[in-house]
Chain A
Amino acid sequence: MSQVGTAAGWEPTIVAFCCNWCSYAGADLAGISRLAYPASLRIIRVPCSGRVNPHFVLRAFQRGADGVLVAGCHPGDCHYTTGNYFTRRRYLLMQRLLEYAGVNPGRFEVKWISGSEGPKFAQAAREITARVRALGPNREMRDEA
């Protein structure tokens, strides 16, 4: 379990959109289980990963997020039955479009994390943070205004 100190220079900002029923609960469980992960990952609660408009992802990058995670229930487990299947399609395309536009695909991720997968949530948080930290600050889409 690695915890990166905040003193060690630049830390990325990761925005995580978590669906209320699975991934947000998974993040709660990670906390309840006292699983440490980098503090630079911050969660925005949405009812369903299907609520996450790709524009929100672009907005996060534009506002200087260095990485974005969209987390939802496992396919087949959506509280709303099918929301995450649409999420999957949207972000399969989005990921490729970002890459095509020159945004490093490592900055963006979709994960299926259930309410019982606290360790998986913590692991996902550590992984994306480590990856984005290695990529450095988002210079691809940051709005310098």
Chain B
Amino acid sequence: MTETVRLTGQGLEQLLGAAAGATGGLVAPVTEDGQVLFRPVREARRFDYINAVTPPKDFWFPQTERLFKFKTVPAVALEQAADPAQRVVFGVRPCDLKSLVILDAVMATGEFEDDYYAQQRSATTVIGVACTGAGPHCFCTAMGVTPGDEAGADLMLYPDGDGFLGRAVTGRGAALTAAHAGCFAAADPAAVAAAAAAARKLVPPLAGRLDVDGLRERFADNWDSHIWGEAAQRCLGCGLCTYLCPTCYCFGVSDEVRQGQGVRMRCWDSCMFSDFVRMAGGHNPRPGKLERVRQRFLHKLRYFPARHAELACTGCGRCVAKCPVGVHVPELIMLDREAR
């Protein structure tokens, strides 16, 4: 089997059907009550969507992850959770694919590898699908991602008429195509490259309105800017943006113990919650909305790039679409521009 493949509509159904039948199952975008969501599914059909309301993050970095069980009586004893089963996540857009690169950089690269994350990652085969259109809130290209990027995918698909052209990006992707060879046909690498190039040319309208020249430098010296107050006074202090963000990875670890039976788990947390950095004793280094809003955006646009050489925003536009009060990355970029 070659690296580049062609997949008919029927082939896709076959492939996804097989994945759904496997132990770990299949995750794919579906529509529920008019909302596009990634859900474990028994079967998947192709349909038109710009992107899901919530990112697929939950499937490699679950909102609540049970790390292990334990007992305290008669003596302390641990019971590790079973390794996650192999599963396929289908239909991930390039912005969300890029979030994998960013999360990997934090949790699966270098000195501190997060076992739980790494296990989830290695058990998950991600099938990316390039965009054919942009929503009003998309701004990926401003963040250095294009609608045709494959980084983060194991298998990347480019819509081509009724079917797809595709490329196995990783070994897991190659293994998938190999395991389901019957679903795929060989494809001309040049055709695949052309399809990818075409997809990369798409520019979301919002991205076109953003001036990102010298973005990192600008955000390296705007700590005292009035823009933080501007944005923060509107902020509701909810965790919507962080929970919808494909790259936010903050979590808290807690135990639930009842009658000597315990579970240790980690749950998403949000830097937008007032108690996020509240310490025992009550001191809160980020007591107000201003400090919290500044932290969040500087983390995306300054601290993270400083450490990992990548912006921690992929321009998926969820915060733009869903923040009820218009506090989001493009807003801050524009506010910063205006303040200069």
Measured in the bound complex, the distance between the Cα atoms of B191 and A118 in whole Å is 84
Does any Cβ of A come within 8 Å of B256's Cβ? Answer: yes
Which residues of A102-145 are within 8 A (CB) of B? 145
Does B103 make an interface contact (CB < 8 A)? no
Contacts of B66 on A, CB cut-off 8 Å? 145
Assembled-state Cα–Cα distance A145/B64 (Å): 11
Report the interface size for chain B: residues with CB under 8 A from the other chain.
3
B263 adjacent to chain A (CB < 8 Å):
yes
A145 CA to B66 CA in the complex, in Å? 9
Interface string of B237-257 (1 = CB under 8 A from A): 000000000000000000010
Name the residue on A nearest B265 (C-beta): A145
In the docked arrangement, what's the CA distance between A145 and B264, Å? 12
Q: How far is the CB of A86 from chain B (nearest CB, A)?
A: 30
Residue of B nearest to A63 (CB): B258
Q: Which chain B residues lie closer than 8 Å to A145 at the CB level?
A: 66, 256, 263
CB distance from B213 to the nearest CB of A (A): 49
Closest to B64 in A: A145
CA distance A145 to B254 in the complex (A): 14
Q: Smallest Cβ distance from A38 to chain B, in angstroms?
A: 23
Chain A residue contacts of B263, Cβ below 8 A: 145
Which chain B residues (122-160) contact chain A, with CB distance < 8 Å?
none
CA distance A32 to B109 in the complex (A): 68
Distance A115 CA – B234 CA, assembled complex (angstroms): 56
Query: How far, in whole Å, are A63 and B181 apart by their CA atoms in the complex?
Result: 47
Q: How near does chain A come to B323, taking the closest CB pair, in angstroms?
A: 29
List 3 A-B pairs, minimum CB-CB distance, nearest first. Answer: A145-B263, A145-B256, A145-B66
3 A-B contacts, Cβ less than 8 Å apart? A145-B66, A145-B256, A145-B263
